[in-house]
Amino acid sequence: MRDFNILKSFSQKIYFVGSGNFWYEGEVGDDRNSIYRIYSVILFFIYGSMTVLEIFAALFGNFPKDEKGDCVTFAVSHTIVMIKMCYVIGNKQLIRKLNYDMATVCEEFEETSLQTKKYYNIKVNLIAYFVAVYFSAACFVFEGLRKVKEGSHFVTIVTYYPSFEDDSFPATVFRIYCTIVLFMMMLSMIMTVDAFTMVNLIIFKYKIITLRRYFERISQDFKEMHKINQRLAVEHLAKGLIKGFKVNKELLRILKDIDKAFGFVIALQLCQSSGSAVSLLLQMAISDELTFVGKLKIMFFVIALFFLLGLFLCNAGEITYQSAQLADSIFYCGWHECLWEYQPEGKKIGQMVLIACMQAQKPLVLKAFKMIELTYGTFLLVIKTTYSIFALFNAQSGKSEYK
C-alpha cells in the first residue's frame, strides 16, 4: 500500500472520531461544516468533563484505596491524553502539509517489497497496541462486574460524582456512561495521537531506507554501465546523485516538521509512561487486597504505556540508525572511478559526495524537550530508571510497614 493511501486512510479515521480533517485535499470531509463542528465540540466537551471530574475525585474525593489509586492514575493519564489531542489538533495545518510531503517525497524511488514490509509493520504494531489498550480497559470492566457480584457497585472510571456510597440508579447509569466515554476517548486517542504519530515515524524510517537503497542501486548501475560506456556511466551517476541529494535535503526538512507536529507528544508519553508505571506497580506491590483481575488490569495498563513508548522511541531510534548508514551508501557509489573529463561541468562528483557524506555523518536524532534523545538507549534507560524508582519506593514502603 502506498504512503498516500495509508495516510489518507488514517485521516479518514481521524475525521470520523471528531478530531478534524488532517488531509491536504478535500476528499476526506469538511471539518468547517457546522454539523461536524457541533459533533466535534460535543465529543471533546464530554471527554473534558469526565477528565475534570476525575481530577476533582483525585483531589477531593473520599474513596477506598483501590478506587483512589485508579482515580489518580486515570486523572493524570487522561489529562495528558487531552493535552496531546489538543496539541495535535492545534497543529492541524502543519500536519496537512506534512501529510502531503510524506505522501510525495521519495515516491519515485519506492520499491514494492519495501512498501509491503512497511504496511505489514504498521499493521502489526497498530493491532498489537490496540489490543493492549482495549484489553487493559476490558480488565477494568471485568473488575467492575466482579464488584457487582460481591454486592458492591459497578465502576471503571472513578469520578467525583457519584460518591462511593451512592448506589442509586442515576449513579449506576452515570458509571456505565463513563465506561462508554472511556472506550470512545481511547479510540480518539489512538487514532488522533498515538497511532498517527507511530505511523509517521515508521513511514519516515522507510523513506530513509528507500533513499539508502536508491544510492546502492545507482552505485550498482554505475558499475555495470562503466564496463560498457564510461562517459554515459559517469553522467548517469552524477544525475542520480544530484536527485538523491535533493531528496535527502527534503527529508531533513520533513523531519523538522515531524518534530514540531509530534515531538511534544512523544515527550509527554515519555513522562506519562515512566510516572504512571511507577505509581501502578507500587500500587500493585503494596496492596494486599488486589484480586487477580485487579493485578491483570494494572499489568496491561503498564504494558500498553511501555509498548507505546517503545513504538515511539524504537522507531525514532531506527531513524537515527538508518540515517547513519547513508554516509556509507553515498561514499561507495563509485565516485573514485569517475574520470575528470567525463564529469559534468560545475558538478564534480567527488566534491558532491564529500559534502553529502559530511552531512550524513551527523545522524538524524529526535529529541524530547530539546534535550533527551529519542533512541533505543533512551527506551532501555527509561525502563531501568522506572524499575529502580519502583524498587526504591517499594523498599521504603516495606520498611515502614515493618516498623
Longest CA span, the chain:
91
Measured distance CA(109)–CA(52) in Å, rounded:
49
Please state the domain count of the chain: 1
C-alpha distances in Å from residue 45, one per residue of 38, 42, 56, 283: 10, 5, 16, 31
Structural domain contains residue 363: yes
- For residue 42 the three cell numbers come to 460535543
Structural domain contains residue 299: yes
Burial tier of 400 (Cβ tally within 10 Å: 0-12, 13-18, 19+): exposed
Tens place of pLDDT for every residue, the chain, 403 residues?
Answer: 689 999 999 999 999 999 999 999 877 989 999 999 999 999 999 999 999 999 999 999 999 888 888 888 889 899 999 999 999 999 999 999 999 999 999 988 999 999 999 999 999 999 999 999 999 899 899 989 988 988 888 999 999 999 999 999 999 999 999 999 999 999 999 999 999 999 999 999 999 999 999 999 998 988 888 777 887 888 888 888 889 999 999 999 999 999 999 999 999 999 888 878 877 777 777 666 777 777 888 888 888 999 999 999 999 999 999 998 998 888 888 777 775 545 555 457 777 888 888 877 777 888 887 788 888 888 888 888 888 877 777 776 555 454 4
Q: Is 115 left (phi over 0), alpha (psi -120 to 50) or beta?
A: alpha
Measured distance CA(282)–CA(390) in Å, rounded:
6
Structural domain contains residue 23: yes
Structural domain contains residue 110: no
Reported as half-sphere exposure (CB side, CA atoms, 13 A), residue 241 has a value of 31
Structural domain contains residue 305: yes
pTM of the model: 0.92
Structural domain contains residue 56: yes
Structural domain contains residue 127: no
- For residue 9 the three cell numbers come to 486512510
In this structure, are residues 132 and 25 in contact, taking their beta carbons and an 8 Å threshold? no
Structural domain contains residue 238: yes
Structural domain range at position 377: 3-101+132-402
